[in-house]
Amino acid sequence: MQNYTLKDIALAVSGKLMGNPDVSVSHLIIDSRSAASPNDSIFFAIQGIHHDGHKFIADLYQKGIRSFVAVQKALPDFSKFADANFIFVENTLDALQSLAAFHRRRFSYPVVGITGSNGKTVVKEWATQLMHGEKKVVRSPRSYNSQVGVPLSVWLMSPENDVAIFEAGISKPSEMHRLEHILIPDIGIITNIGAAHQENFNTLRQKLQEKMILFEHSKVIIYQIDNSLINEEVHNIPLKGKQLFTWGTSKDASLTILKKEVAAHTMLTLSYAQETFTAEIPFTDDASVENAMHSISLLLVLGFTPELIEERVKKLIPVAMRLEQKEGINNCTIINDSYNSDISSLTIALNLLNNQKFSKRTLILSDIFQSGKSNQELYSEVARLVKEKQVDKIIGIGTAISANEAQFTGIEKRFFTSTDDFLHSYHKEDFANEAILLKGSRSFQFERISRQLERQIHQTVLEINLNALVNNLNYFRSLVKPTTKFVAMVKAFSYGSGFYEIASMLQYQRVDYLAVAFADEGVELREAGITMPIIVLNAEPGSFDLMISYNLEPEIYSKTALTRFRDAAVRAGVTCYPIHVKLDTGMHRLGFIEEDIDELIAFLKDDEQLKISSIFSHLAASDEAIHDDFTNQQISLFSRLSSRIIDKLGYHINRHILNSAGIERFPSAEFDMVRLGIGLYGVSAANQPKLEMVSTLRSTIVQTKDIPPHESVGYGRKGKVETPKRIATIPIGYADGLNRRLSNGVGKIMVKGKLAPIIGNICMDTCMIDITDIDAHEGDEVTIFGENPTIMDIASWIGTIPYEILTGISRRVKRIYIQE
């Protein structure tokens, strides 16, 4: 394991060390959640647009961390952290990168740098699979390819390895230069070039040129010769001292595809250095073939023989790109990460486990292969991690981990030599109310365990992409001043996307407030462990006592509510309790009107029980340009009325009026705070392409059948069949939230890339679609909404708004959360 003294690090990052130069550290942390091994960790307080690592220093100090890389200006009172060591630098990200660059230069084994728009992770993982047993590969965990991810990946390099494979990704000009300086890859791969992250580049060519900066010092560049843009641009860079290794159908390629046959697999006949060999790729889609060809090319460059490649390519297995989190039996949560297993991905997965609300955390772990360490060393490290991440129970599967059973102390444990062994003694009752992480090497087939542990309900699921949620939040943050506070709307089950998982992500992202519609929603969040401020919008007097005891802050919209809430505050004996005053500026739903203002001021002036935390109002038509005059009137009325209150009360009060569409269309009315709702979930009033859909509703075909002419489909015989048709039945109906107005061809469902019209009336639990022109079968997945069709499409088909589609998905539909 890498081990540096603070003196070494201060030198490498050109920083000023205040503290003990001889302390040595081996873990870099940038995320306050991963304070695993405090004694030998150093925290880099990275400053981003929305994050400032310096805010976590006090927290981490509490957790026992004593070494920090920070900016002195950002930490004026650092002396209060007695016995902590600080390395002060100008810029902490630069420092992290300098340290990685320094570390990288200690190794002389080949470093491979992969860039390109798609396929980086798969090429990296497949090349590693193909080299298994021959080379000890160190590689980026998952897709750590950013300005922060690359240094953290490079940090994993150690003398035991003999090849390194890292991804490099960029989203704007000038970034690649920094990554190149860290990685200086000996071998470069450019997978392809597409429109991802295009917004900051003028042309595809400009982005490609930027990516190729990665190869500035490379000795070999691998790419597909048939891609004319790449081929052209490669020849525009100085090629002195560089070898080009190309693949493609051209006979000029270093590795030529002579023949391609696609059946159940893709069979390629290849020619390389006068030798002909075959590659049987167990996939048929073009992207997989491209990824496999890049991996094969890399192996050839590294000196592997066609014979070995021929034999191994057949066994390539799919790469799971993300951790899957599912509902399990007996109220468990299952985190499935059973495609690869190594210490760094184990650490990432354990961090996720550690963040679960469950009081009990279980790890099911197989033998870890190819760690480059002795089993003794390896499992003592695993045991240390398991303890630090507060795992309560470990189930070890495999002969090696079982042999090291004694290393796991102070923990509930069971060991099995094989997955079969485990399944034989498996009882459903052994698991309840716990978060279970499944982490296994591929050969252990942990998917068999996961099938047992997952709750089996119907085949319709709503998939929630938490990364998309964060992306959307950051997009809205970019529209307003960095100091503007955010209220995230999680009312109505977070617009249908779920409760705790969404709230806890927003809490982690340091949103300022959550807002729910009713008190019981707030109580549910508190019970699940959400500690951040929560506003209750439709606060009913009957729930005021409950709200105070759960520290929920009410929206106060009338004189009655104000008096009743004050009574509750007196009963509870609280003072200065924060309330949020709602003004009606034109929506005419809830709120004080202009005539009430004097009375409101008189009531609250010098009041001891209540304190206005914010004043707000709601726009009636912020998304419709024809009403912009009205919206502007609302804004100026709000500005005038709220100023009057603030002037009279004489203390600071936050003001807010913008909802999602308001933030996009009237950002100058941001005041102190904004309320983000539907935008968070991916719907834009301005058709903003930077927003990503958070929810995808999927189901599965459970039956197909051929219907002869003159028959009909479904209730009321509404689905008339005039010509022979093939139909498929899907287990989703109006009780799941598939609006019945989508019946009879109004709605369409995506099957195998084509839209299949709904035929006949939608039933309560099922519907039928017309797949006459689509080659679809029982068991095929279908998409009700997601990227295509979108919730906007569905809303327009039946003349409603996306809000209704999203919030209409009933709670019986299983939610699956994914997070990269």
Catalytic residues: 491, 715
Nearest of 287, 296, 437, 451 to residue 366 by alpha carbon: 437
Minimal distance in Å, beta carbon 518 to ligand PLP? Answer: 12
Q: Which is nearer to ligand PLP, 439 or 618 (CB)?
A: 618
Minimal distance in Å, beta carbon 531 to ligand PLP? Answer: 22
Q: Which is nearer to ligand PLP, 492 or 601 (CB)?
A: 492
CA 803-807-811 angle, to 5 degrees, is 170
Rg of the chain, C-alpha, whole Å? 29
Q: How many helices (H) and strands (E) does the chain have?
A: 26, 41
Amino acid at 392: D
> What is the β-pairing status of strands 461-465 and 719-720?
unpaired
Structure tokens belonging to residue 547: 């709200």
End-to-end CA distance of the chain: 26
Minimal distance in Å, beta carbon 659 to ligand PLP? Answer: 3
Helix (H, G, I), strand (E, B) or coil at 262: strand
CB neighbour list of residue 54: distance below 8 Å, 6 or more residues apart: 45, 47, 70, 71, 74, 75
Amino acid at 325: Q
Q: Which is nearer to ligand PLP, 35 or 537 (CB)?
A: 537
Amino acid at 29: I
Q: Which is nearer to ligand PLP, 678 or 782 (CB)?
A: 678
Minimal distance in Å, beta carbon 678 to ligand PLP? Answer: 4
Q: Which residue is nearest to ligand PLP (CB)?
A: 677
Distance CA 647, CA 607 (A): 16
Distance CA 565, CA 610 (A): 9
Minimal distance in Å, beta carbon 367 to ligand PLP? Answer: 49
- Flag whether 589 is marked binding: yes
The dihedral through the CA atoms of 378, 36, 153, 23 has a sign that is negative
Q: Which is nearer to ligand PLP, 208 or 678 (CB)?
A: 678
How distant, in Å, are the alpha carbons of 137, 217, 353 from that of 345? 14, 29, 12
> What is the β-pairing status of strands 654-656 and 610-617?
parallel
Minimal distance in Å, beta carbon 618 to ligand PLP? Answer: 4
Minimal distance in Å, beta carbon 495 to ligand PLP? Answer: 7
Minimal distance in Å, beta carbon 666 to ligand PLP? Answer: 12
Which DSSP state fits 692?
A: -
Q: Which is nearer to ligand PLP, 523 or 806 (CB)?
A: 806
Minimal distance in Å, beta carbon 517 to ligand PLP? Answer: 7
Distance CA 33, CA 682 (A): 27
Helix (H, G, I), strand (E, B) or coil at 166: strand
The dihedral through the CA atoms of 566, 572, 577, 582 has a sign that is negative
| Under 8 Å between Cβ of 534 and 548 | no
Minimal distance in Å, beta carbon 556 to ligand PLP? Answer: 13
Total count of residues recorded for the chain? 820
Q: Taking each helix axis as running N to C, give the angle between helix 519-527 and helix 500-508, from 0 to 180 degrees, rounded to the nearest 10.
A: 70
Q: Which is nearer to ligand PLP, 114 or 661 (CB)?
A: 661
Phi then psi for residue 131, to 5 deg, are -90, 0
Distance CA 296, CA 309 (A): 7
Distance CA 329, CA 554 (A): 37
- Look-up of token digits 């920070």: 70
The partner residues of 18 in beta bridges, in order of sequence, read 86
Q: Taking each helix axis as running N to C, give the angle between helix 92-104 and helix 175-183, from 0 to 180 degrees, rounded to the nearest 10.
A: 30
Helix (H, G, I), strand (E, B) or coil at 243: strand
> What is the β-pairing status of strands 725-730 and 703-707?
antiparallel
Q: Which is nearer to ligand PLP, 391 or 619 (CB)?
A: 619
Which DSSP state fits 320?
A: P
Helix (H, G, I), strand (E, B) or coil at 636: helix
Nearest of 585, 635, 579 to residue 607 by alpha carbon: 579
Q: Which is nearer to ligand PLP, 113 or 679 (CB)?
A: 679
Minimal distance in Å, beta carbon 674 to ligand PLP? Answer: 9
Q: List residues binding ligand PLP (CB under 6 A).
A: 489, 537, 618, 659-661, 675-679
Q: Which is nearer to ligand PLP, 360 or 485 (CB)?
A: 485
Q: Which is nearer to ligand PLP, 15 or 677 (CB)?
A: 677
The dihedral through the CA atoms of 238, 241, 247, 250 has a sign that is positive
Amino acid at 709: P
Q: Which is nearer to ligand PLP, 660 or 743 (CB)?
A: 660
Nearest of 200, 789, 267 to residue 478 by alpha carbon: 200
Amino acid at 313: V
Minimal distance in Å, beta carbon 417 to ligand PLP? Answer: 54
Burial environment of residue 651 by CB neighbours within 10 A (0 to 12, 13 to 18, 19 or more):
exposed
| Under 8 Å between Cβ of 663 and 474 | no
| Under 8 Å between Cβ of 361 and 368 | no
Nearest of 154, 152, 18 to residue 79 by alpha carbon: 18
* Binding site per annotation, positions for substrate: 589, 764
* Binding site per annotation, positions: 589, 764
